[in-house]
Amino acid sequence: MAIFLSLSPHLPPNPPQYPNPELKFPLPPTPKTVLIDTKTSKRDLITRVAPFLFISSLAFSCPTAQCLAEPLPTPKPLISGIANTKSWFQFYGDGFSIRVPPQFEDVMEPEDFNSGLSLYGDKAKPKTFAARFASSDGSEVLSVVIRPTNQLKITFLEAKDVSDLGSLKQAAKLFVPGGSTIYSARTIKIKEEESFRTYYFYEFGRDEQHVAMVAAVNSGKAIIAGATAPQWKWDDDGVRLRSAAISLTVL
């Protein structure tokens, strides 16, 4: 069972750590390398697609001058289309920023903002979402979640990069739910001041939903952005949803 991809309102305190044998991840052994230069109700619909927001940039809004991408051949094309998101609203959250597609609305619920408060002296419950936006009909959703990496993989060391959780293929067992069909997977390295930061990109389908997801790690926290829509809407809106997910930037 994948960890971040089960974004029901109440996440289990200790997500399972074992690999999911149902995961369909056909990855050939010899990846290519590409170098890119860049500096019902609305509430019901949102609730229905929330489990596919996995936790959660190319001709996208990459914050640095150089991005190194390592695509892995898969049955369907890799990142097939990316929109220029520079004109989109840029949302700043706790240690991250992300571009929001035009006409998407902020749909964070009051419990999302208050979930870190404790009235009875118990350990504060983590927020379900760090950010959540949806289309006007609620069928397309962009979400960001933040979780401690030690909830994803048992380790005594603080993860500083998503590669600390394993390779692109290994980490799919943590981020992508079992039974999914992975259409595309890619490692993206973004140059920062002193080094490169790694982002893992996955695009997959499950239960009539199509998902684009990006995961990164900073100081022991995994930051995952997921954009999802019904499969039948992906042909029309997939480019902007994929672009929104890939616009995730760790600050």
Non-local CB neighbours of 165 within 8 Å, separated by 6+ positions: 149, 152, 153, 159, 171, 174, 217, 222
User: What is the average pLDDT value for the chain, to the nearest integer?
Assistant: 75
Using one digit for the tens of pLDDT, what is the confidence trace for 162-186? 999 999 999 999 999 999 999 999 9
Q: What is the average pLDDT across 63-68?
A: 36
Using one digit for the tens of pLDDT, what is the confidence trace for 118-169? 444 444 556 789 999 999 999 999 999 999 999 888 877 889 999 999 999 9
CA dist 146 and 227 (Å) reads: 15
**Alpha-carbon 110 to chain mean position:** 22
Predicted local distance difference test score (pLDDT) of residue 108:
86
Assessment of whether the complete model's pTM goes beyond 0.85: no
